Structure 1
Amino acid sequence: MTWSWEYLPSEQHVTAGAPAEFLAAVERRAAELVRAAAAFCLDGTTYQGSGEPMRYLDVAGGLVAHYVVPRLELVVICQVTPPPTPCS
């Protein structure tokens, strides 16, 4: 297996309405999380124990909820909250 990341339940569901610039920052951060998880757990398929709890990251002023599933070598992005838009 190779470590990867994905939106769950789907990209459409998780990212609906979020600005493209914010989503680009989210995807860069997701790639960083994949590299970190791969370095921490070289062979996730042999991982023993429960997975990590959901974690939250500040990304470009917004919020990203994610968790790691070591046995699947997967980082799951399950919620994105874009930064607030300035009032006019």
Structure 2
Amino acid sequence: MTDWTWEYNPSEEHVAGGLAPGVVAEIERMATELATLGVDAAKVGRPLDRGGGLREFDILGGRGFISFLAVARHHCVYVCNIAWYG
């Protein structure tokens, strides 16, 4: 277990506003799991050839993806964008 947390960046309204509650719940569950990984969250998802930077991870069987940053100095995973194809 790590002391990492997660947040929406810049805000929940901006990133997740208008999405179905079930989609938001799944994104928040995944963000919690990414925070549990701590510094290793910077190695999850795309791009596959390097770690760090803005990462992308498929959600709900490829029906969308989240973009996130794992910032070690803040001990935080920031969910920056959600693309939902429904």
TM-score interval, normalised by the smaller of the two chains: 0.7 to 0.9
For 1:1-88, what aligned pairs fall within 5 Å after superposition? Answer: 2-37=3-38, 40=40, 52-60=52-60, 61-84=63-86
TM-score, reference length from structure 2? 0.76
Higher relative contact order (CA 8 A, sep 6+): 1
- Unmatched tracts of structure 2, length 5 or more: 41-50
CA distance in 1, matches of 2:26, 2:84: 11
Partner of 1:43: none
The runs of at least 4 consecutive aligned structure 1 residues that moved more than 6 Å come to none
Q: Normalising by structure 1, what TM-score?
A: 0.75
How many residue pairs get matched?
Answer: 74
Structure 1, unaligned runs of 5 or more: 41-50
Q: Matches of 1:6 and 1:12 in 2, distance apart? A: 12
Based on CA coordinates, which of the two structures has the bigger radius of gyration?
1
Distance 1:25 1:83 in 2: 15
